[in-house]
Amino acid sequence: MSKNFDVVVIGGGPGGYVAAIRAAQLGLSTACIDEWKNAKGGPAPGGTCTNVGCIPSKALLQSSEYFDHANHAFVEHGIDIKDVSLNLKKMLGRKDTVVKQNNDGILYLFKKNKVTFFHGRGSFVKSETDGHEIKIVGTVEESITAKHVIVATGSSPRALPNVDFDEKLVLSNTGALAMTDVPKRLGLIGAGVIGLEMGSVWRRLGSDVTILEALPAFLGAVDEAVAKEAHKQFTKQGLVINLGVKIGAITSGKSEVTVNYTDDKGTAQKAIFDKLIVSIGRVPNTVGLNADGVGLQLDERGFVAVDADCKTSLPNVWAVGDVVRGPMLAHKAEEEGVAVAERIAGQHGHVNFNTIPWVIYTSPEIAWVGKTEQQLKSENVAYKSGSFPFMANGRARALGDTTGFVKFLADAKTDEILGVHIIGPMASELIAEAVVAMEFRASSEDIARICHAHPSLSESVKEAALAVDGRSLNF
């Protein structure tokens, strides 16, 4: 006999598992289906984010940064370490442990919230106004029915045409997080978020890193002042970043990959790498859902088509996260998941796309929320700006990390904060204050008048807000 639920979520990444928990909290009988397998074939919920994305990349970024500090930064603090050596096997093992803790945490949360978990692939069999039938193919094969379905199937790495990921020489994010030796010559195609984070990890561990990027501008979506500083810092660290290239033929030999490309001057070039990471964006996962069979509409780019409330073309079928339009970020997926669960329960869930923060976990970290200066210019918005360098912050000096700055952009008339851009230590944590401020539609003066602990990096946020009015106290 078929099991019947109020809500069935297909996909157990940050969009899906959070939607399932919220739906269950609201009293709805809920199931979540996820097909991700760990190395032993068991369930590994958490999706891309937990298994081959946010969590393992941040674990390796942290470990490689400690290694870099031990090699280069501790000496300035009067700590002399001799014979620093890398135990890559242990570093990767620690990363895998962190991933497993997160997988297990989600299974525990499902139990605690009474979410029924199915390990397998879910696909639509029937979708009708009064209910949906979903087939699960996995450890066991069964059919379940639901009043509402939330599609949260996420995304996969985009491959270059005719260059498949073999995860040995040509790597996606999965292989990039699992190299068992440090490649001497590491190539990356795409200077986006993954290219910069993974390039940083392996450079710190000893690779010569070359990044090939198609666009002529570096980090085009980032505020120009921040992108300029980031380019300066990454280049100083040793990342070779070639912009405006056109990738040609890529051929894999036994133990190396040859990339032919045209540089920004139109000259043909050839680069040979021991490993090549391709990080040129991601594509939505819709294969296997039987979207066509039930008439679930996709948009022209292959994402599940949704309206502003994440409603799809089918009644009571919703979709959230990477499989729909908008930034491919775990916290955006989570917000949509919660909002949809609340809408199903008759509440008014809401996601504010203007206050979704972005973070790039390089060193220095880059974080921002709201509009960039170039966006405000192109939209003809009159604005004021204020910046404060970490060089003038006591805590940053004590830390020994004074790179970068905080930059505020505020409405010229009302002083409402329109964007905050940070490059520097702990930018990922500092940005939260700006998100809160913008969510409450605060002015830069509101931040400038709030007492910030001394000495703290957060004083730089206050000082940048003061700078909007030309009255920084410490710079």
State the catalytic residues: 454
- Integer-rounded Cα Rg, in Å, for the chain is 24
Site residues for ligand FAD, 45-74, by CB under 6 A, read 47-49, 53-54, 57
CB of 41 to ligand NAI, least distance (A): 27
- Contact segment (CB under 6 A) with ligand NAI among 144-152, 222-230, 354-362, 448-456 equals 354-362
* Count of beta carbons in the 10 Å neighbourhood of residue 119: 20
User: Could you tell me the two tokens for 343?
Assistant: 């809408």
Contacts for 390 with CB less than 8 Å, ≥ 6 apart? 396, 401, 402, 403, 404, 405, 406, 424, 425, 457, 460
Which of ligand NAI, ligand FAD, none is residue 43 near (CB under 5 to 8 Å by kind)? none
Distance CA 294, CA 134 (A): 11
Binding of ligand NAI by 366 (CB under 6 A): no
| Of positions 274, 322, 342, 373, contacts ligand FAD by CB under 6 A | 322
| Of positions 92, 328, 351, 410, contacts ligand FAD by CB under 6 A | 328
Which of ligand FAD, ligand NAI, none is residue 247 near (CB under 5 to 8 Å by kind)? ligand NAI
Which of ligand NAI, ligand FAD, none is residue 205 near (CB under 5 to 8 Å by kind)? none
Which of ligand FAD, ligand NAI, none is residue 36 near (CB under 5 to 8 Å by kind)? ligand FAD
CA distances (Å), origin 179, targets 47, 91, 189, 220, 341:
20, 11, 17, 29, 39
Q: Quickly tell me which residue has 């969510």 as its tokens.
A: 439
Binding of ligand NAI by 212 (CB under 6 A): yes
Which of ligand FAD, ligand NAI, none is residue 360 near (CB under 5 to 8 Å by kind)? ligand NAI
Binding of ligand NAI by 194 (CB under 6 A): yes
| Of positions 195, 284, 357, 386, contacts ligand NAI by CB under 6 A | 195
Binding of ligand FAD by 433 (CB under 6 A): no
CB of 71 to ligand FAD, least distance (A): 24
Q: For ligand FAD, which is the closer residue by CB, 92 or 448?
A: 92
CA distances (Å), origin 226, targets 361, 381, 422, 427:
14, 20, 7, 12
Q: Which helix (H) or strand (E) is 137 found in, with range?
A: strand 131-138
Which of ligand FAD, ligand NAI, none is residue 195 near (CB under 5 to 8 Å by kind)? ligand NAI
* Cβ burial 325-363 (10 Å sphere, 16+ → b, else e): ebebbbbbbbbbbbbbbbbbbeeebebeeebbbbbbbbb
Q: Which amino acid is at 389?
A: P
Q: Which helix (H) or strand (E) is 359 found in, with range?
A: strand 358-360
Binding of ligand NAI by 465 (CB under 6 A): no
Which of ligand FAD, ligand NAI, none is residue 281 near (CB under 5 to 8 Å by kind)? ligand NAI
Binding of ligand FAD by 122 (CB under 6 A): yes
Binding of ligand NAI by 171 (CB under 6 A): no
Site residues for ligand FAD, 123-152, by CB under 6 A, read 123, 152
DSSP SS3 for 142: strand
The full length of the chain comes to 475
Q: Which amino acid is at 90?
A: K
Site residues for ligand NAI, 270-329, by CB under 6 A, read 279-282, 327-329
| Of positions 102, 155, 402, 460, contacts ligand FAD by CB under 6 A | 155
Beta strand 275-278 with 170-171: parallel, antiparallel or unpaired? parallel
The residue number whose beta carbon is nearest to ligand NAI equals 192
Distance CA 418, CA 442 (A): 9
Binding of ligand NAI by 197 (CB under 6 A): yes
Distance CA 91, CA 8 (A): 37
CB of 322 to ligand NAI, least distance (A): 8
| Of positions 64, 127, 173, 362, contacts ligand FAD by CB under 6 A | 173
* Count of beta carbons in the 10 Å neighbourhood of residue 402: 18
Q: Is the Cβ–Cβ distance between 52 and 173 less than 8 Å? A: yes
CB of 115 to ligand FAD, least distance (A): 14
Binding of ligand FAD by 15 (CB under 6 A): yes
Strands, sheet with 365-370, edge to edge from the N-terminal-most edge strand: 358-360, 365-370, 417-424, 405-411, 383-389
Binding of ligand FAD by 33 (CB under 6 A): yes
DSSP codes, 276-294: EEE-S-EEE--TTS-HHHH
Binding of ligand NAI by 188 (CB under 6 A): no
Which of ligand NAI, ligand FAD, none is residue 331 near (CB under 5 to 8 Å by kind)? ligand FAD
Where on the chain is the footprint of ligand NAI (CB under 6 A)?
160, 189-195, 197, 212-215, 247, 279-282, 327-329, 359-361
Residues lying near ligand FAD in the complex (CB under 6 A): 10-16, 33-36, 47-49, 53-54, 57, 121-123, 152-155, 173, 194, 285, 288-289, 321-323, 328-331, 333
